[in-house]
Every structure is written in structure tokens, then in C-alpha cells.
Structure 1
């Protein structure tokens, strides 16, 4: 989940996998795949950074749990084909 802020300064979390699109004109709006629209105070670039960071954390946690590298190398260090 990523945490964002409504214009009234209340914070809430959304599942970034459910974000359909982000618009900035001038307020930033999150359009969710279920049709909900949230107007937030963060910039579009900041939301994108939050999503990238969230997904990196997910990949890192998955790699830590499985021990399988996510760099394209096999467990024995050879490049996977």
C-alpha cells in the first residue's frame, strides 16, 4: 500500500495495483480501476515515486523469502537463458 493525502490533510492508503491512471491538472487525481477517484495533494511525480518504491520493496521481500536472485542470474550464478 502507498499512503497519500487528501486535500483536507487526511491521510489514507491505496493499493497501487488498483490505480488505473494518475492525472495532474492542477490537482492530482488517482483514478482507480473500480471507478473511484481520489483528489490528493501529492504531485503526480511523487505518486509515481511512491509506487516505484512500493514495487521495489515487494520484489526485494520476495527475493529475500525465496533466496532467488531477481537480477536475471540463476541460483548458481550463471546467466539464465
Structure 2
């Protein structure tokens, strides 16, 4: 899960596998595969970075002994 901040400042965790699309309009709008739309404070670039870090952590655990 990645931690994001809603427009009103509340922190929440989102499963990045549910993300269908991210747009900057200038607010960052995340559309989920369920068609739900979420506005967040983070930029699209920040979200992309969070997803990369999250996936690296997941894949690294696959190869731990």
C-alpha cells in the first residue's frame, strides 16, 4: 500500500493495483479501476515514485532467505 494525502489533509493508504489513471488538472486526480475518483495532494510524479518504491519492496521480499 502507498500512503497518500487527501485534499482535506487526511492520510490514507491505497492499493496501487487499483489505480487505473492519474491526472494533473492542476489537482491530482486518481481514477480507480472501480471508477471511484480520488483527489490527492501528491503530484502524479510523487505517486509514481511511491508505486515504484512499493513494488521494489514487494519484489525484494520474494528473494529474501
Give TM class, smaller chain: over 0.9
| Alignment RMSD (CA, Å) | 0.8
- Which is greater in Rg? 1
| 4+ residue runs over 6 A deviation | none
Structure 2 residue ranges without an equivalent (≥5): none
Partner of 2:21: 21
- Is 1:51 aligned with 2:14? no
Question: Normalised by the size of structure 2, how large is the TM-score?
Answer: 0.96
| TM-score (norm. length: structure 1) | 0.77
Q: Tell me how far apart the structure 1 counterparts of residues 53 and 26 of structure 2 sit (CA, whole Å).
A: 24
**Greater share of strand residues, 1 or 2?**
2
